[in-house]
Chain A
Amino acid sequence: MFGKSNTGDEELRFLSRLTQLEGRRKFLKWSGLTIAAAAVACKTDERLQPSGPRLGSGSDPVDLGSGDFLVLNFAYALEQLEAAFYSQVIDMKYSGITDEETRVLDDLRKHEIIHRDFFKAALGNNAIPELEVDFSSVDFSSRQSVLETAQTFEDLGVSAYNGAGKFLENLDFLLVAGKIVSVEARHAAAIRSLLRPKSGFFAGDDVVNEQGLDVVRTPADVFALADPFITTEIDGSDLPTS
């Protein structure tokens, strides 16, 4: 998976390993925005606890586990990413934000935190640790940048759950994924509607095909798209590619 990363990322990761930064931040990239994002994630996370044996595993990448745990940890990673993003959006509201936009974005923040904390509780000792995020590509002072990033994350989340469903063996897990993915789709539509109101963009032809089917992505493809926003090194090599 990381073979797809650019050389700069690989070097940073390598340097990070060499410098042996303490604890969870050992792979933190050296950008002010990343540190700010991590600080926000820490501040808003009341459940920041050591998360099982993987924390003490030295410089090894995060192991997602196997079977249904692999899929659930994968979802947990995405929910962590979304929760951190909306927390930062609300902490650094862009100027001119409307009441409606604030309501929507704050609701999304709450929902994603609930999803994140639900997965953490459901996974228990099998949960991956809290991830460090990198939103350096996002301009939080820009409405366009924030909403387009939100759209990217929500559409990505929809495609991820749609693609991951068939890999869940336990039907109770499948049902929970179904309960969450439709809320992600509601989010995606709302964000898209904020960007282009009174149009078909909420379920646009860029995400819904001529058969009326929403986007679906393999876990590996989703991971490749989410990876630039995640500083913590994750071993995604076991994620299904088809």
Chain B
Amino acid sequence: MDRDKKLIFEALENPEVLEQTVSRRDAVRGGGMLGAGIALATMPVLLAGLTRKAFAQGPLPDSIVNPLNFALVLEYLESDFYEMGLDAGGLIPSEDRPIFAQISKHETAHVAFLSSVLGAKAAIRPEWDFTSGGVFDPFNDYETFTLLAQGFEDTGVRAYKGQAGNVASNDDILTAALQIHSVEARHASEVRRLRGLKGWIPLNQTNAPAAFAPVYAGEENTTHLGIDVSDFQGREAATEAFDEPLGLRDVLAIAGLFGTGARG
């Protein structure tokens, strides 16, 4: 376990390692990799047509496994974050609990789903430090909790978008990734609106704390397929109307802020 965790966090700090992580871990463990909290007995139920079809096409190639494991690590982060938030007594006001209960339910389902698709190649669940070494206090301060939630959801949307092309060779995986992607966007909208923001991202979210700049860097883009849309309905609306992708390295840099091993 310890060695696996170390590998995951090497990967978080060092994206080049991610590609090696799975094969190295497989050699070490030889299966049974699913993290705590995922009931193996429920897996067959979760294996919908997509999973069967995906496997029917043969073992997933590394080119698909790596983006999916990347997504899985993000889902681990989100699902653990919301579970801890919901468990923290007095943190979430009772009127907001249905919102975070719904989000938590989805993130847990995403972990189970991706784990089931990846099977023996699924990355293990890391441990997180959501204080990021004492910088944040999300489970005692609701404002910080919702701020981190906003950052995680908006990052999640960008991360899935950035990987769509990498899984496009498999129709079923691509469609499932898109289906998760839009759920993350629904979450992001809701959390943002709960915080008094627009559900969509104006410019590069200039009113976010400085530490969140990497989450929104590049969102101000207004040119797509060579077409500049900035004068169609004004620049701010133009930036809101298109969400931007974020590459693996940038996403892992954000997620890595909350990895215990990364500061080990």
Contacts and interface: CB of A to CB of B under 8 A. Distances in A.
Contacts, number: 192
Given A165-B178, A190-B193, A198-B95, A185 B183 contact: yes
B199 A114 contact: no
A193 interface: yes
Nearest to A118: B229
B106 interface: yes
Interface stretch (A19-27, A167-175, A225-233): A167-175
A175 B113 contact: no
Given A110-B233, A114-B241, A174-B168, A185 B178 contact: no
Interface string B220-232: 0000110101001
Contacts of B232: 113-114, 117-118
Nearest to B190: A202
Contact of B106 (A184, A187, A208): A208
Interface residues of B, number: 59
Interface in B117-165: 157, 160-161, 164-165
A203 B103 contact: yes
A117 to B, nearest CB: 5
Interface residues of A, number: 52
A182 B185 contact: yes
Contacts of B164: 165, 174-175, 178
B174 A178 contact: no
A196 B264 CA distance: 44
B237 interface: yes
Nearest to B109: A212
B99 interface: yes
Contact of A172 (B98, B113, B225): B225
B48 A211 contact: yes
B171 A166 contact: yes
Given A117-B232, A162-B175, A216-B175, A176 B200 contact: no
Nearest to B221: A179
Contacts of B113: 211-213
A62 interface: no
B175 A214 contact: no
A189 B186 contact: yes
B186 A114 contact: no
Interface of A: 103-104, 107, 110-111, 113-115, 117-118, 121-122, 158, 161-163, 165-166, 171-176, 178-190, 193, 198-200, 202-204, 208, 210-216
What 10 pairs across the A-B complex have the smallest Cβ distances?
A200-B102, A212-B109, A185-B185, A186-B189, A182-B185, A189-B189, A213-B179, A185-B182, A189-B186, A110-B237
Interface of B: 46, 48, 95-96, 98-99, 101-103, 105-110, 112-113, 157, 160-161, 164-165, 168, 171, 174-176, 178-190, 193, 198-200, 224-225, 227, 229, 232-234, 237-238, 240-245
